[in-house]
A and B are shown apart, each in its own frame.
Chain A
Amino acid sequence: MGRLRHAISIIVLVALSTLGLRALFSVILALPRAASAEAGPIDTLFNAHFWMIAFLFAFIMVMMLYSVFVFRRKPGDETDGPHVHGNTRLEIGWTIIPTVVVLGFGVWGAITLNAITSPKAGEMVVHVTGKQWAWTFDYPEQGDISSGDLVLPVGRTIVLKMNAEDVLHSFWVPEFRVKQDLVPDRETTLRITPTEIGDYMLRCAEICGLNHTLMEAKVRVVDAAGFQAWVDEKSAAPAFADMTPEERGAFWHSAEGFSCFGCHSLDGSPSVGPTWQGLYGRQEQLADGSTITVDDQYIINSILHPADQVVAGFQPNLMPPDYADKIAAREQEIQAAEGIDIDITADLIAFIKTLQ
């Protein structure tokens, strides 16, 4: 009779606690809104896991607190508890049942994973490049346009083919639910199918050094017409020959250029490299104690040999030393495409001069 009473109490308490915990979870363990097709089956799995968490936590805690309060030693009782060593049937039961349950979750997980990673009809490829501390997106199917914002058409499966230039980074938009690291010299792939028009933020989820916190990019999901309009606008960008050096300088600073913005702000806000606002003509104290005035010569040297003249208070060896090569390659590309000679460092200097 005693046993039955305990069993009924436990069942009632566990059931109530499970329901209560699950209700509490929907407040304190809420997911961000779902904005991709992949989020659907993932959130279903989340829901199942939350139920299991609620049940297991309730079950063990109810059993423990029940033992603590109901069976506790009564005043004056000096005897020991019952001499029970174990129960093989129980032991086998609580080995087999959890095994089956977790393997079941494994199968469910494998099926879901397969569903969200398998190729879909009408996919569109976007190349993602991550580097300290900026993102660039290239659209091979849209005439190789390049962008610092990730603009995606709604309802179409996007295959992100991703590469890192320097260290590991990780692509995560919480509303899309899926995540994938970017690895230097290795292409990784992530499929997302945006389902909700709106603005999101992409943020790097793998520690990537000094400015990891701020490695982010805007993500815009737009309708098909809006996407086409954006592609047209990007494709209609003027030829380099038609731009002023100042305009080209601003372009080189952006994600479509060399992503200088990852370290150098334009509005005086502090970052991991000196701000470009008011830079030209400024007196700077260098790490070795000497003072220089920022002029053409200093800027050119700092771009081509960044470790030479580091401004005091900034970390050396952050800026890659290979900009000479990158700039030369880009200049050759433009020479081949438009037949004109562009001096990218001169463009940058012209741009910096406008930022007073």
Chain B
Amino acid sequence: MFKTLRIILTSALVRGIVGQALGTALGYAFVAGLRALRGAETGWIYEPALAFGAIIGVIGFLLGAGVLTDWLKWAIGRQTPLRHGAPAGRPEWSRYFNVDYNHKVIGIQYGISSLLILLIGGVFAILFRLELAHSGMQWLTNSQYNTLFSAHGIIMIAAILGGVGAMVNYLVPLMIGAADMAFPRLNAFSFWVSVPAALLILGGIAVGGWDTGWVGYATLSLRAPVGMVLFLLGFWVVGFSSIAGSANLLVTVATMRAKGMSLFRMPIFVWAAVAASLIQLTATQTVGVALTMSVAERVIGLNFFDPTGGGNPILYQHLFWFYSHPVVYVFVLPGLGVISELLPVFARKPLFGYRWVALSSLGIALVGFLVWAHHMFTSGMADALRVPFMFSTMLVAVPTGVKFFSWIATIWEGKLPSNPPTPLLFVLGAISVFLIGGVTGPILGTIPTDLHLHDSYWVVGHFHATMFGGFIFPFFAALYYWYPKMTGRMYNERLGKLHFWLMLPAFWVMSIGQMSVGLLGMRRRIADYDPALGIDGTQLLITLAALVIGWSVLIMIYNLAFSQRMQPVAETNPWRSRSPEWQIPSPAPEFNYDVPFEVVGEPYDYGLADATYIRDATPAAVPSGD
């Protein structure tokens, strides 16, 4: 017990948090001290000092956790070996609390933090859903409500980015036959830098919150309470994680694929990961600029957005959405990749139109860059921009449609099990939910109908359907599906199904309910609504549905947490998959493949006798896969 405590207290996580606290205090004291030397009076929370402290605090975290140690040693000419396994004298589980370079450990670190953050964001949602269950103010103030919904947005985005990081990190090297990612230290950096970022955002709530939503539109962002600056900086730091992680992934896929694995013989999930990484690598900088400009305008008075000094508030929206629209495809593409990956395994049929599915991911990524201004149809931007952006937006439906049609064609005449296991249920549920999100999109892309729906709850329903269908449901499918790979044990099937059958109908009710009240005039981001709108009943239903979703997720957390102790050891390949990662023991060995494999066939040749995807790349080749 004492030993456990000691291991945790000396872990990178705790050292990092201490480093962040010290760094923040130092940075704060420096600026506040300068001000005191000038003899100026300073209140308790002085924003420029807080901003500077926040930045120094992030560096303090990275130094304290030891994320930068190897690079700093290299800078002074010292060699550092790539360490593997738990630190000397420490148990295996302590790897997850420390800076570890193995992609599977980092993947699980991402996954667990993602679930934790998801829970925090979910609790926030339930808190304000309780407020909205009935018209009239129930138990929150306007200020608390504004902070809760603003934090819910950005926290969920952090959770989703973490979940994407989990899937991509854990799966891609296994799928392409690499021993690790191309840059293991950069990989660890990508994960660890997101921890102080999350702490900054939570700190923003602690110092009093903010009220701009996650979009942080100027000029409200320039007047919002002091929590705003920590939110902006936290968001900004998360960007480092995205940029470094995506560069790493692209290099890994480009250079470390197994012999014979041509681009069109990669497992389809890898295509989705590549498309998502291309967006992250090229779009994140733009939101970084927008956030930097907002911080600079607030803290040191550089004038970019406030028109009274010659700025332009609409400029912020362009910069913001140039990233923040494409990034929703970062959230959904890996999830859609999971759907494409799992359907052939369960249907025992090849993925229909592999190349079209692969290229549709790139198509979505490309078109995704050309549609950002559809978030601004009512913003007052140049009139001439509206119609072109309407047409480009409508085109998103085309590659998205290709995915739906290909999934249907894959399971058409396929042999799906008559008693579907949990991952398959979540995949089918994901298709239905993403379909709700998909079909409710063009009505928003068409300007005249958007003029009514813009900033209404229709939008809330639409994007929750795309996020749940494109990320949450597939992510949960992936957690169940690869659970035996990660832990070597099977999850509890009965609890998994209970989770699904609670969550799917609850989500439908919630999402369709949101669209319904939106049409009738429910605006986004309001703490209260007029009973005359006649939506009290629907609002209560939405809140009840949200509670059911919350409880069902807790069932999953219980299942995942305890199955690795209570459930029997899983078979090596419980889904009879042809994918490389299922041909090796579970959990996967430290360096994945003791014997490298080479690709000699197509990845999804189910239903073709004697088809081989991979075989050991040794002189005496033995076929593997089925």
Chain A residues engaging chain B, CB cutoff 8 angstroms: 28-32, 41-42, 45-46, 49, 52-53, 56-57, 60-61, 63-64, 67-68, 71-75, 77, 79-87, 90-91, 94-95, 98-99, 102-103, 105-106, 108-110, 112-113, 116-117, 166-168, 170, 172, 174, 177-186, 188, 201, 203-214, 272, 315, 317
Cβ–Cβ < 8 Å partners of B145 in chain A:
213
Whether, in the assembled complex, B350 has its beta carbon less than 8 Å from a beta carbon of chain A, the answer is: yes
Is the Cβ of B530 less than 8 Å from the Cβ of A209? no
Is the Cβ of B452 less than 8 Å from the Cβ of A179? yes
Cβ–Cβ < 8 Å partners of B348 in chain A:
79-81
Is the Cβ of A94 less than 8 Å from the Cβ of B213? no
- Pick the contact of A61 from B349, B380, B414, B432 — CB < 8 Å? B432
How many Å from the CB of B162 to the closest CB on chain A?
26
Cβ–Cβ < 8 Å partners of A203 in chain B:
521, 523
How many Å from the CB of B133 to the closest CB on chain A?
16
Is the Cβ of A73 less than 8 Å from the Cβ of B417? yes
How many Å from the CB of A164 to the closest CB on chain B?
9
Closest 10 CB pairs of A and B: A185-B307, A81-B349, A174-B521, A80-B607, A80-B348, A109-B446, A83-B607, A102-B394, A86-B353, A188-B380
Is the Cβ of A52 less than 8 Å from the Cβ of B402? no
Cβ–Cβ < 8 Å partners of A185 in chain B:
307-308
Cβ–Cβ < 8 Å partners of A117 in chain B:
383
Taken residue by residue from 421 to 448, chain B's Cβ proximity to chain A (1 for < 8 Å, 0 otherwise) reads as: 0000000100110011011101100111
How many Å from the CB of B314 to the closest CB on chain A?
7
Is the Cβ of B397 less than 8 Å from the Cβ of A98? yes
Other A-B pairs, 8, CB within 8 Å; known A84-B409, A207-B211: A45-B448, A60-B431, A79-B415, A87-B409, A166-B223, A172-B523, A181-B380, A209-B224
Cβ–Cβ < 8 Å partners of A91 in chain B:
353, 356, 402, 406
Is the Cβ of B211 less than 8 Å from the Cβ of A210? yes
Is the Cβ of A42 less than 8 Å from the Cβ of B142? no
How many Å from the CB of B213 to the closest CB on chain A?
5
A210 to B525, CA, bound (A): 11
Is the Cβ of B416 less than 8 Å from the Cβ of A67? yes
- Pick the contact of B387 from A49, A113, A168, A207 — CB < 8 Å? A113
- Pick the contact of B452 from A67, A174, A207 — CB < 8 Å? A174
Is the Cβ of B451 less than 8 Å from the Cβ of A179? yes
Q: Whose C-beta in chain A lies nearest to the C-beta of B608?
A: A83
A53-B415 contact in complex given A113-B448, A210-B146, C-beta closer than 8 Å = no
Whether, in the assembled complex, B519 has its beta carbon less than 8 Å from a beta carbon of chain A, the answer is: yes
Is the Cβ of B220 less than 8 Å from the Cβ of A183? no
Is the Cβ of B435 less than 8 Å from the Cβ of A60? yes
Is the Cβ of B380 less than 8 Å from the Cβ of A60? no
A63 to B82, CA, bound (A): 51
Whether, in the assembled complex, B454 has its beta carbon less than 8 Å from a beta carbon of chain A, the answer is: yes
Is the Cβ of A28 less than 8 Å from the Cβ of B512? yes
- Pick the contact of A179 from B308, B378, B395 — CB < 8 Å? B378
How many Å from the CB of A32 to the closest CB on chain B?
6
Report the interface size class on chain B: 35 or more
Is the Cβ of B607 less than 8 Å from the Cβ of A168? no
Q: Whose C-beta in chain B lies nearest to the C-beta of A313?
A: B141
Quick one: which of B352-394 are within 8 Å of A by CB?
Answer: 352-356, 378-380, 383, 386-387, 390-391, 394
A67-B408 contact in complex given A29-B516, A53-B440, A113-B386, C-beta closer than 8 Å = yes
A205-B520 contact in complex given A67-B408, A67-B416, A179-B454, C-beta closer than 8 Å = no
Is the Cβ of B352 less than 8 Å from the Cβ of A85? yes
How many Å from the CB of B439 to the closest CB on chain A?
5
- Pick the contact of A52 from B211, B212, B442 — CB < 8 Å? B442
How many Å from the CB of B263 to the closest CB on chain A?
17
19 A-B contacts (beta carbon < 8 Å): A30-B520, A31-B520, A60-B404, A67-B411, A79-B415, A80-B348, A81-B347, A81-B413, A83-B605, A84-B352, A85-B354, A94-B405, A106-B390, A109-B448, A112-B448, A113-B448, A168-B379, A180-B378, A183-B380
A188 to B217, CA, bound (A): 18
Cβ–Cβ < 8 Å partners of A213 in chain B:
142, 145, 526-528
Cβ–Cβ < 8 Å partners of A184 in chain B:
219, 306-308, 313
Is the Cβ of A116 less than 8 Å from the Cβ of B448? yes
How many Å from the CB of A196 to the closest CB on chain B?
16
How many Å from the CB of A49 to the closest CB on chain B?
4
Taken residue by residue from 127 to 158, chain B's Cβ proximity to chain A (1 for < 8 Å, 0 otherwise) reads as: 00000000000000011011000000000000
- Pick the contact of A168 from B313, B354, B431, B446 — CB < 8 Å? B313
Whether, in the assembled complex, B616 has its beta carbon less than 8 Å from a beta carbon of chain A, the answer is: no
How many Å from the CB of B351 to the closest CB on chain A?
8
Chain B residues engaging chain A, CB cutoff 8 angstroms: 142-143, 145-146, 211-213, 217, 219-220, 223-225, 306-308, 313-314, 347-350, 352-356, 378-380, 383, 386-387, 390-391, 394-395, 397-398, 401-402, 404-409, 411-418, 420, 428, 431-432, 435-436, 438-440, 442-443, 446-449, 451-452, 454-456, 512, 515-516, 519-521, 523-528, 530, 532, 602, 605-608
Is the Cβ of A45 less than 8 Å from the Cβ of B219? no
Q: Whose C-beta in chain B lies nearest to the C-beta of A182?
A: B380
Is the Cβ of A211 less than 8 Å from the Cβ of B401? no
Q: Whose C-beta in chain B lies nearest to the C-beta of A71?
A: B413
A317 to B519, CA, bound (A): 35
A90-B409 contact in complex given A46-B449, A98-B397, C-beta closer than 8 Å = yes
A28 to B449, CA, bound (A): 18
Q: Whose C-beta in chain B lies nearest to the C-beta of A54?
A: B439
Cβ–Cβ < 8 Å partners of A81 in chain B:
347-349, 413-415, 606-607
A318 to B152, CA, bound (A): 24
Is the Cβ of A41 less than 8 Å from the Cβ of B448? yes
Is the Cβ of A64 less than 8 Å from the Cβ of B432? yes
- Pick the contact of B446 from A105, A204, A212 — CB < 8 Å? A105
A61 to B608, CA, bound (A): 28
- Pick the contact of B223 from A45, A77, A84, A209 — CB < 8 Å? A209
Cβ–Cβ < 8 Å partners of B383 in chain A:
117
- Pick the contact of B398 from A28, A53, A102 — CB < 8 Å? A102
Is the Cβ of B431 less than 8 Å from the Cβ of A64? yes
Cβ–Cβ < 8 Å partners of A178 in chain B:
451-452
Is the Cβ of A83 less than 8 Å from the Cβ of B349? yes
- Pick the contact of A57 from B355, B397, B436, B528 — CB < 8 Å? B436
Residue with the greatest number of chain A CB neighbours at <10 A, chosen from B313, B411, B448: B448
How many Å from the CB of A30 to the closest CB on chain B?
7
Is the Cβ of B390 less than 8 Å from the Cβ of A99? no
A206 to B397, CA, bound (A): 27
A77 to B420, CA, bound (A): 15
How many Å from the CB of A99 to the closest CB on chain B?
5
Q: Whose C-beta in chain A lies nearest to the C-beta of B440?
A: A53
Is the Cβ of A207 less than 8 Å from the Cβ of B405? no
Is the Cβ of B411 less than 8 Å from the Cβ of A82? no
How many Å from the CB of A60 to the closest CB on chain B?
5
Is the Cβ of A98 less than 8 Å from the Cβ of B354? no
- Pick the contact of B350 from A49, A85, A210 — CB < 8 Å? A85
Cβ–Cβ < 8 Å partners of A49 in chain B:
442-443, 446, 449
Cβ–Cβ < 8 Å partners of B413 in chain A:
67, 71, 81-82, 84
Is the Cβ of A42 less than 8 Å from the Cβ of B515? no
Cβ–Cβ < 8 Å partners of B405 in chain A:
90, 94
Cβ–Cβ < 8 Å partners of A64 in chain B:
407-408, 411, 428, 431-432
Is the Cβ of B313 less than 8 Å from the Cβ of A72? no
Cβ–Cβ < 8 Å partners of B223 in chain A:
166-167, 209, 317
Is the Cβ of B394 less than 8 Å from the Cβ of A105? yes
Is the Cβ of B394 less than 8 Å from the Cβ of A180? no
Is the Cβ of A57 less than 8 Å from the Cβ of B435? yes
Is the Cβ of B395 less than 8 Å from the Cβ of A315? no
A49 to B452, CA, bound (A): 14
A68-B411 contact in complex given A84-B352, A109-B447, A177-B451, C-beta closer than 8 Å = yes
Is the Cβ of B416 less than 8 Å from the Cβ of A68? yes
A52 to B213, CA, bound (A): 32
- Pick the contact of A174 from B219, B378, B435, B520 — CB < 8 Å? B520
Cβ–Cβ < 8 Å partners of B608 in chain A:
83
- Pick the contact of A172 from B306, B408, B455, B516 — CB < 8 Å? B455
